[in-house]
Structure 1
Amino acid sequence: MRELLFDAVENGASVGFLFDLDEAHASRYFDQVQAAMQEGEQQVWLALENGQVVGSVQLNLCRKPNGLNRAEVQKLLVHSKARRRGIARELMQCLELEAKELKRGLLYLDTEAGSEAESFYRTLGYTHAGNLPDYACSPDGTYRATAIYYKTLSKAQP
């Protein structure tokens, strides 16, 4: 997964890291992901080709009593050498199926405004809720707007 993360950052993906990402920082991040998974707060899906991770996506489960119907889609990554093969779509389909099983009927995410990812999420049925200016620093150090999207998988049940 480290190679996938480094590839994403090197190719300018706004996924929470800057170009100066190093092994130590990546290791700390993956330790945090593993801890969140063990606590039941996060789920991760991987796409493998020839034993190599070429894609991943994360689902962060809201643990607040008033938010058990929602979850955040995070860090949908596909290696630059594996793009345009349907990997991202398959990862999202797996994530959405599991979200339904977990009764997480509302999914939301953010992505860099104006990026190719916006049209991808729209083709999956996500609705654009709006943009936030200067929301996140891109790997090159430039602050950019983010676009917020959501998808209703099922109506919330009390």
Structure 2
Amino acid sequence: MSSSFRIRRLDPAEARRAAPALAGVLLDCVAAGASVSFMADLTRDAAEAFWREVAEATDGRALLVAEDDTGVFGTVQVVPAWSPNQPHRADIAKLLVHRRGRNRGVGQALMAAAEAAARDLGRTVLMLDTITGEAGERLYARMGWVRVGEIPDFALMPDGRPAATTIFYKALG
């Protein structure tokens, strides 16, 4: 398989059409043990419904995907803060890479594109959380994100085990 891929932002119509492919990415990540808000019993219908909700969101979020000639295999979102006193802030959510696309620099490329999208949205402070000790934590630190701290037992892994979460932020220059 070629290692080439592209990152692009989906508009709402493209996001609706991509819901089945995005559901496949989410299902694969959950099956691989990623703690991304869903449990091991996640169904395809529920995964597609989640992505349809994302497509219909009116909060100004940016939905980015990684794709190659086979289709979508990665995604990340930039979700602007809703509160009036934080017009400069956004959260990074659901960085997901299907196992078929791992070890190709996709996570880093998606995060770089998310930072660029945040700048385009006028956001200068970004936040995210990730399971402590997982690959994401190393990626964010490598990309200059600042570790704020850790919250024990913050979320459940897909199999129900509690896991600590690490909070990061990044100020965009």
Structure 1 gaps, min length 5 = none
Residue from 12, 21, 46 that aligns with 2:65: 46
Q: How does 1:37-116 map to 2 (within 5 A)?
A: 39-116=58-135
How far the C-alpha of 1:43 sits from its partner, in A, is 1.4
CA distance in 1, matches of 2:162, 2:49: 24
How far the C-alpha of 1:24 sits from its partner, in A, is 2.3
- Structure 1 segments, 4+ long, off by >4 Å, are none
Residue from 128, 133, 136 that aligns with 2:152: 133
How far the C-alpha of 1:51 sits from its partner, in A, is 3.9
1:18 alignment counterpart: 39
Structure 2 gaps, min length 5 = 1-21
CA distance in 2, matches of 1:51, 1:28: 23
Q: C-alpha offsets along residues 99-157 of structure 1, whole Å, 9 cap, x if unaligned?
A: 11222100110000111211110011001000111111110111111000010004xxx
> Are the counterparts in 2 of residues 41 and 63 from structure 1 also a CA contact under 8 Å?
no
The percent identity for this pair of structures is 38
How far the C-alpha of 1:31 sits from its partner, in A, is 2.0
Q: C-alpha offsets along residues 1-44 of structure 1, whole Å, 9 cap, x if unaligned?
A: 111111100000110001100022112211221121xx143211
| Alignment root-mean-square deviation, CA | 1.1
Count matched residues: 152
TM-score normalised per structure 2: 0.84
Q: C-alpha offsets along residues 40-77 of structure 1, whole Å, 9 cap, x if unaligned?
A: 43211011111411111011111211011110001111
TM-score normalised per structure 1: 0.92
1:4 alignment counterpart: 25
